């Protein structure tokens, strides 16, 4: 996928203003950035929900999308999942994410974490480039690990573009994009995600602490 120089205006206000091309790598591409920095707008523009007034998006891959919020009134879980194209792959992901017993339930009666797993299973089954907005929100620590392990195990088959407010997801990322005020202020490997960069982007002191090669990000 090629995403170059995107500019988006909503109600006359510039929300996205990318001077640079978005350079995705193989595997897990993670977008970080404070609230309101334009992460969701960027994802929605890539999938075609928002039309940029400038810039280019060239997509060769099959894209799938898991939004950060979702509402599907009066629809069964299996119909949410089966409303896509690649039906064959659903079984694999409903099994991995342990949602097989939920298929006959009404989607809106699920807990927030169960809903999250359903829409993630759908996105994983449908796309070669899987775009997920805050896939870890609503998930308990064990389900969070299950999703991370699944993404890591699929890295050679699929490409991921995800957002998260959980900074330690950096540990699993092959490429990190940092946004602030509608712009990309960093993209590259995780080694470039320094305390200085994060403290400046989030406007609060952030410290990196490593234990057994795993990096935690803490405020102090
Ligand atoms: N339809 C809209 N009308 C007006 N402003 C909008 C609209 N959509 C987005 N914005 C504004 O654009 C900015 C970027 O929003 P966006 O949802 O892309 O941020 P985000 O980085 O995903 O934030 P968060 O981490 O809080 O989810 C915000 O200031 C938001 O209020």
Ligand 1 closest atom vs CA 37: 21
**Residue 97 above 80 pLDDT?**
yes
Structure-derived torsion over alpha carbons of residues 110, 112, 116, 118, reported in degrees to the nearest 10:
0
Tens-place pLDDT, residues 115-170: 999 999 999 999 999 999 999 999 999 999 999 999 999 999 999 999 999 999 99
Give the CA angle between residues 12, 17, 22 to the nearest 5°. Answer: 145
Residue with CA at minimum distance from ligand 1 atom 25: 35
- Whether residue 61 contacts residue 159, with contact meaning beta carbons closer than 8 Å, is answered with yes
Q: How many Å lie between the centroid of ligand 1 and the Cα of residue 104?
A: 34
> Which of these, 19, 55, 12, 72, lies nearest to 182 by C-alpha position?
19
CA of 19 to the centre of ligand 1 (A): 19
Nearest atom within ligand 1 for CA of residue 33: 21
| Residues paired with residue 206 on neighbouring β-strands, in sequence order | 219
Structure tokens at 83: 């409303």
pLDDT at 23: 86
The number of residues in the chain equals 220
HSE, side-chain direction, 13 A CA sphere, residue 178:
21
Residue 199 Cα, ligand 1 centroid: separation in angstroms? 21
Ligand 1 binding pocket includes 69 (Cβ within 6 Å)? no
Round to whole Å and give the CA distance between 107 and 8. 33
In the numeric block, which tokens belong to residue 131? 């775009």
Q: pLDDT, tens digit, for every residue of 32-68?
A: 999 999 999 999 999 999 999 999 999 889 999 999 9
pLDDT of res. 21:
94
Per-chain mean pLDDT for the chain: 94
pLDDT digits (tens, 9 = 90+) for 191-215: 999 999 999 999 999 999 999 999 9
Could you tell me the distance, in angstroms and rounded to a whole number, from the CA of residue 108 to the centre of ligand 1?
Answer: 25
What is the rounded distance in angstroms from the CA atom of residue 214 to the CA atom of residue 93?
27
CA of 182 from ligand 1 middle (Å) equals: 9
Residue 86 clears pLDDT 70, i.e. is over it? no
């Amino acid at each position: 996928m090629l995403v170059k120089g995107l500019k988006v205006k909503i109600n006359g206000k510039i929300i996205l203003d990318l001077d640079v091309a978005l350079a995705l790598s193989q595997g897990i591409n993670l977008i970080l950035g404070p609230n309101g920095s334009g992460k969701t707008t960027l994802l929605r523009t890539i999938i075609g929900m928002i039309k940029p007034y400038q810039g280019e998006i060239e997509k060769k891959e099959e894209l799938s999308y898991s939004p950060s919020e979702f509402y599907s009134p009066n629809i069964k879980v299996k119909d949410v999942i089966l409303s896509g194209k690649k039906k064959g792959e659903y079984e694999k992901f409903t099994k991995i994410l342990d949602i097989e017993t939920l298929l006959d339930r009404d989607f809106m009666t699920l807990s927030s974490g169960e809903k999250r797993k359903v829409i993630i299973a759908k996105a994983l089954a449908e796309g070669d480039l899987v775009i997920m907005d805050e896939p870890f929100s609503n998930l308990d620590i064990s389900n969070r690990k299950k999703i991370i392990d699944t993404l890591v195990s699929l890295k050679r088959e699929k490409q991921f573009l995800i957002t998260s407010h959980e900074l330690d997801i950096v540990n699993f990322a092959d490429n990190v994009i940092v946004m602030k005020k509608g712009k990309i202020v960093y993209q590259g490997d995780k080694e470039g995600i320094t305390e200085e960069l994060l403290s400046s982007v989030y406007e609060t002191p952030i410290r990196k602490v490593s234990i057994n090669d795993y990096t935690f990000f803490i405020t102090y």
